[in-house]
Amino acid sequence: MVDVVEEDDLELIRNGLEQAWGEGLDVLVRSASPLAALLAGCRATRLTPAPAGRSRVLVVAGSYVPLSTRQLAELQRRYPGTTVEADIDRLLENPAREQSRLAGEVEARLRDGPVCALSTPRVMPTAGVVENGLGERISERIAGVLEELVAPPDMVVGKGGITSAVVARLGMHGRVAWVQGPPLPGLSWWNVGRDVTSVQGIGDSPGQDLIVFAGNVGDDATLADLVDALVAA
């Protein structure tokens, strides 16, 4: 695992990877959008404004880093009563029942207002949970709540890089994504679909919008500012 603080850090990682690949080493990269864009040679040259007027915005938060917790607190301050918190024990012991409960609460929040935040508890699971692979199962079962919704949200914001990946793959059944661009520095707006035609708008089943929002990106207000922009008339 490598942490990035400045743009130069991305260049250093890119150079190291290219050297490793050049020497015939097999290296699998799992990264946030900025490194993927750098490796692909298609970095954005400008911001892509977030689409406004979205009446059903769902934030799915699995990241436990302190910044994500503060961002969720600010979102709750601006949009009181919008958070739906999963019961982890129930999600692991009886996932279908807990997913049904969560989906019902999410739908109720989105009927009453434009925003809902579906979140794990703000306490990090124990080391044993992570080591035994239960952390991944929790993310997968949180993502499964999207399948239970009567109508898909107009926009999903994945709070946490791994959370976003699981939501795209399992919650949205995504196989491909059309990257629209960065609505804010460090974020990436995707249209996720099951095939190329869906994300290009020429198929029978349109893609779904997802903003990939890694855990340690932005400041305390960035998530709430993004949601403000999404729901603005």
Query: Whose CA is closest to 79, among 57, 63, 60?
Result: 57
Instruction: Give 152's DSSP letter.
Output: -
Q: Using 50, 70 and 90 to split pLDDT, how confident is the model at 124?
A: low
> What predicted TM-score, i.e. pTM, was given to this entire model?
0.85
User: CA Rg, the chain, in Å?
Assistant: 18
- Determine what percent of the chain is predicted with pLDDT higher than 70: 92
* Three-state secondary structure of 134-149: HHHHHHHHHHCHHHHC
Q: What is the DSSP string of 90-134?
A: HHHHSHHHHHHHHHHHHHHHHHHSSEEEEE--SSPPPHHHHHTTH
pLDDT single digits (tens) 207-232 = 899 999 988 889 999 999 999 999 99
Can you list the domains of the chain with their CATH numbers?
7-40 (no CATH), 57-231 (3.40.980.20)
The answer to whether 92 and 137 are in contact (CB under 8 A) is yes
Exposed, middle or buried by CB within 10 Å (0-12, 13-18, 19+), for 216?
Answer: middle
Average pLDDT over residues 177-190: 89
Residues 6 or more apart in contact with residue 152 via CB below 8 angstroms: 146, 208
